Amino acid sequence: MSKDISFFNLSINKILTKEQSALDKPRIRLLYYGFWIVGVAIAGLFTSVYFQRQTLLSITAGILFISFLGLFKYLTYRPQWKQISHAVLIIGSIVNINTIFIALQKVDIITVQVLLLIVLFSYYMLGQSWGLFYSLLNVIPVMVFLVISYYSGYYIALRPEAIDESTTIIGVFTNFILIVYIHSHFYGAFLSNIEELKATGEKQQQLNKELALAMQKAEQSSRIKSDFLATMSHEIRTPLNAIIGMSNVMLMNSPRKDQKENLDVLKLSANSLMAIVNDVLDFNKIESGQLVFENSKFNLYELVQNVCGGEKLRAEEKGLIFSLKVDPLLNNKLLVGDPVRLGQVLFNLVSNAIKFTKLGTIWVRASFYEHNDGVTVNFAVKDTGIGMDQTHLESIFEPFTQESITTTRRYGGTGMGLAIVKRLLELQGLHMNVTTKLGKGSEFSFSMDFPVAEAVQPGALLQEAESLGSLRMLIVEDNPVNVLLMQKLLSKWHIVPLIAGNGVEAIEMAKSDDFDIILMDLQMPIMNGFDAAVEIRRLPDAKKANTPIIALSAAAMTDINEQVTEAGMNDYVSKPFKPKDLLEKIQTLVAAVQ
């Protein structure tokens, strides 16, 4: 309703607004112009019956005229069309029943027309339920009157009034005009709505086409982005694999203390760069719903120690006290879960704690309790850093917000660490608990359930790396730096591998020689690792065809595990890898075929 409507307003334009629906506007117009028609008609009827000295009809017409005049004024001041419609129908019903039972004491053409008007008006203005109500309210008394008149005649003490032909003509004419006007008005509104719906439907069809095209472009853009990230990941991870791998090889050569310090810095920096790359790639996987959690056996005690090892050096370089406490009983248990994702969560939490703490202490705790289904481990990372206000608590888990961008510029990092942590936990049905106070520090904690795996039998695997010296190993790798790295690394385990530069060479060498295990790069010229593995599995010699194959790749394809399995390869190691992880996989696969 418009706010500038004055009490003296008589214009319909001021009571029609854009907010009113396409059906409400015709209803208001019907009331507005209907009042004019009815007002003129009632004035004419009043004049006619007054001069005929029809007292009861004159009083009825006078009350009607005043009532309709008041309703018209209310409509132009406060256009509450529903309330006004109810008022019109109540007045009309009273007048109709009064006319039949008291004034005229008969049912004639005028009363029938009034009855039709009430039925039409109630349905058009108030809908089906109220239309039925007001229709029955008027039809039933009329039917009762007709039944009474038919069987016993209708008699009351008051003598009925008679109206002349002119009054009848005025009433019939007015009623016909109103009936035609109501039908014509709502028929026009109906056609207008049909045209509007048709236009809306055509517009919706156009919007659907545009939406489908936009979705197609978005999907194409998403594929391009994924392909770009996979390509960039491969190009970035490949040199990082050489840097981290060579650092590991040099650290295995018992370097001097000063050399070890330099190598630790080099490895730490490379791992930090790798963490940034992983954040971007993992966030893309999470948002696209393509992240899959693995279930593998791992030692939680060693995992936490490894995650915190490099971070402890960072903390000590800043002059912070780093307190790590892991329940030693966890070292005796082999758990089942996704160690990579758990390590990522812990790394981000510990890294953030160090990043936002200038003075004081970093505490990392891992405690557990056993139950019938396994163990529940409680993790907590606490710091004495900058803390935060409770009002900003939710925003720290959202990537690319203004707060995260400002913080990233000031403290470094991608600004996605906590967002990834939250989503990784939520995908596993877990919740992060945060306790923080501005200027005092923060504590992040969560609990995770793990099944307990059976202990590994000492004789199940080849126990000493020296015993791998007799292995016949084929490395399929096109990058000469990675070839050199693998040769140096494997030499520590007394393994002298053979080298194939692409998939075609690998197939020919697998045909002509017997290998205990094959390390297969995935992205190579001429023939990639997937196709090469498929062809090796098709070799007629069953022993050659079943040679264990470990996929090695720096790519970040979201479905790489599925592709590796479909190609018939036994396991997958992402570059850069930890020498220990590769050694364990080699030992497991070799022991399985012996």
Rounded to an integer, what distance in angstroms lies between the CA atom of residue 442 and that of residue 537?
54
Rounded to an integer, what distance in angstroms lies between the CA atom of residue 225 and that of residue 215?
15
Q: Quick one: 497 and 553 in the same domain? A: yes
Domain boundary among 394, 420, 453: 453
Rounded to an integer, what distance in angstroms lies between the CA atom of residue 523 and that of residue 41?
92
Q: Quick one: 490 and 368 in the same domain? A: no
- How many structural domains does the chain have? 3
Q: Quick one: 444 and 317 in the same domain? A: yes
Q: Quick one: 302 and 448 in the same domain? A: yes
Cβ distance 242 to 489 under 8 Å?
Answer: no
Domain boundary among 453, 484, 519: 453
Within-domain flag for 260:
no
- DSSP string of 521-575? ESS-SSS-HHHHHHHHHT-SSHHHHT--EEEEE----TTHHHHHHHTT-SEEEES
Spatial CA neighbour of 413 closest among 265, 235, 269, 275: 275
Within-domain flag for 378:
yes
Query: What are the angstrom distances between the C-alpha of 360 and each of 346, 348, 413, 544?
Result: 20, 19, 21, 59
Q: Quick one: 407 and 303 in the same domain? A: yes
Cβ distance 482 to 241 under 8 Å?
Answer: yes
Phi and psi (nearest 5°) for 528? -80, 175
Within-domain flag for 272:
no
Q: Quick one: 486 and 407 in the same domain? A: no
Beta-carbon contacts of residue 327 (< 8 Å; ≥ 6 apart): 301, 366, 367, 368
Report the side by side order of strands in the sheet with 473-476: 498-500, 473-476, 517-521, 549-553, 571-574
Q: Quick one: 408 and 528 in the same domain? A: no
Q: Quick one: 414 and 358 in the same domain? A: yes
Query: What are the angstrom distances between the C-alpha of 284 and each of 271, 401, 406?
Result: 20, 17, 22
The CATH number given to whatever domain includes residue 528 is 3.40.50.2300
Rounded to an integer, what distance in angstroms lies between the CA atom of residue 31 and that of residue 29?
5
Q: How many CA atoms lie within 13 A of 405 on its CB side?
A: 3
Q: Quick one: 494 and 571 in the same domain? A: yes
Within-domain flag for 202:
no
Domain boundary among 433, 453, 473: 453
Beta-carbon contacts of residue 520 (< 8 Å; ≥ 6 apart): 476, 506, 529, 532, 533, 549, 550, 551, 552, 569
User: How many other C-beta atoms lie within 10 A of the C-beta of residue 37?
Assistant: 13
Within-domain flag for 529:
yes
Kind of pairing between the strands at 549-553 and 473-476: unpaired
Q: Quick one: 487 and 565 in the same domain? A: yes
Residue 404's domain comprises 294-453
Within-domain flag for 374:
yes
Cis peptide before 26 (omega within 30 of 0): no
Query: What are the angstrom distances between the C-alpha of 578 and each of 98, 365, 573, 585?
Result: 99, 24, 9, 11
User: 474: which strand partners?
Assistant: 498, 518
- Return the amino acid letter for 370: E
Statement: the pTM of the whole predicted model exceeds 0.85: no
Residue 402 has a pLDDT of 39
Rounded to an integer, what distance in angstroms lies between the CA atom of residue 120 and that of residue 127?
10
Three-class secondary structure of residue 326 per DSSP:
strand
Q: Quick one: 542 and 480 in the same domain? A: yes
Spatial CA neighbour of 246 closest among 477, 571, 468, 492: 492
Within-domain flag for 587:
yes
Residue 450 has a pLDDT of 95
The CATH number given to whatever domain includes residue 426 is 3.30.565.10
Intra-chain end-to-end CA distance of the chain, in Å: 86
Distance of CA 582 to the CA centre of its chain: 38
Q: Quick one: 440 and 480 in the same domain? A: no
Q: pLDDT tens digits, the chain, 594 residues: what are they?
A: 445 688 888 888 888 888 887 778 888 888 888 888 888 888 888 888 888 888 887 888 888 889 888 988 888 888 888 999 999 999 989 988 888 888 888 888 888 888 888 888 898 889 889 999 999 999 999 999 999 988 888 888 787 777 777 777 877 888 788 888 787 877 777 777 777 778 888 888 888 888 888 888 888 877 777 677 667 766 777 787 778 878 888 887 788 888 887 887 787 777 777 777 777 777 767 766 667 788 888 889 988 988 888 788 889 989 999 999 999 888 888 899 988 889 889 988 998 899 899 999 999 999 999 988 899 999 999 999 988 877 777 777 776 553 444 554 455 555 677 888 888 999 999 999 999 888 889 999 999 999 998 654 544 444 555 567 788 999 999 888 888 888 888 888 888 899 999 999 999 999 999 999 999 998 888 999 999 999 999 999 999 999 999 998 776 555 677 889 899 999 988 877 778 788 888 988 888 876
Within-domain flag for 19:
no
